[in-house]
């Protein structure tokens, strides 16, 4: 009995202490933070069904008026962005210090980057960009920028899954331009949306 008490009371080694801290931090994160799997699944479904709907609404299939498909897709993206805002608020709840600042700066970086992208692409269109190239311009530049943001997030939070998703999205952006219209929307739907869903599944499995 005395040996057991001595063994239980012995101080932990530095390695054991670090392992305990890491384990408790991960348990706390899971307990108070939202699961990124849900956020990624939301975006994956929006890309899959939204861009897929646009693809089947474009000639030659034209199963739905293109304007109706565009309205539904925009509504889906608006809902996903609203959920992302809620996710960001929940994720930053209880966080203080440098981590909170990094999270806030990363969140604002999305808005700043896409604001600049919108200005540049709109200016190019007004300068006489060919109408057939407009969808390719938006899909290519938006995906490359999205991929870069995920690369940055992967580096900031040392997440291989997020970094890998960034690489995949950039590849999808390049492939969408190479595919041409309207097949670029098929690439966005299947490859882009599928990439988000695979990343969501990885986070879901890791959380168990």
Q: What is the pLDDT of residue 91?
A: 67
Domain-embedded: residue 182: yes
Query: Looking at residue 31, what is its pLDDT?
Result: 47
**Enclosing domain of residue 102:** 34-207
pLDDT number for residue 22? 54
pLDDT of residue 191: 95
pLDDT value at position 172?
95
Give the Cα separation of 14 and 81 in Å (integer). 43
- In contact, 187 and 170? CB cutoff 8 Å: no
Q: What is the pLDDT, as a whole number, of residue 178?
A: 95
Q: What is the pTM of this model?
A: 0.79
16 domain residue, yes or no: no
Within-domain flag for 19? no
Inside any domain, residue 29: no
Q: What is the pLDDT of residue 171?
A: 96
What per-residue confidence (pLDDT) applies to 10?
Answer: 62
Q: Is residue 12 part of a domain?
A: no
Within-domain flag for 6: no
Structure confidence at residue 29 (pLDDT): 47
Inside any domain, residue 20: no
Whether 162 maps to a domain, the answer reads yes
The count of other CB atoms within 10 Å of the CB of residue 175 is 18
Overall number of domains in the chain: 1
Task: Compute mean pLDDT per 10 residues along the chain, 208 residues long, and list them.
Answer: 51 64 52 72 95 90 87 92 82 61 85 94 92 91 94 89 95 94 93 95 83
């Amino acid at each position: 009995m005395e040996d057991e008490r001595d063994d239980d009371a012995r101080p932990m080694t530095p390695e054991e202490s670090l392992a305990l801290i890491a384990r408790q931090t991960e348990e706390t994160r899971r307990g108070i933070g939202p699961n990124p799997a849900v956020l990624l699944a939301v975006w994956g479904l929006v890309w899959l069904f939204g861009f897929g709907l646009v693809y089947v609404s474009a000639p030659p299939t034209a199963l739905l008026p293109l304007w109706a498909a565009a309205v539904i897709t925009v509504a889906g993206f608006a809902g996903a962005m609203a959920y992302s805002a809620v996710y960001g608020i929940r994720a930053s709840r209880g966080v203080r210090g440098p981590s909170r600042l990094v999270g806030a700066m990363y969140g604002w970086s999305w808005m700043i980057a896409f604001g600049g992208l919108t200005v540049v692409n709109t200016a190019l269109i007004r300068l006489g960009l060919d109408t057939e190239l407009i969808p390719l311009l938006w899909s290519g530049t938006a995906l490359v920028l999205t991929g870069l943001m995920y690369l940055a997030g992967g580096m900031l939070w040392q997440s291989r899954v997020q970094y890998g998703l960034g690489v995949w999205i950039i590849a999808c952006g390049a492939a969408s331009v190479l595919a041409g219209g309207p097949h670029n929307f098929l690439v966005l739907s299947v490859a882009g949306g599928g990439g988000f869903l695979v990343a969501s599944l990885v986070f879901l499995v890791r959380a168990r």
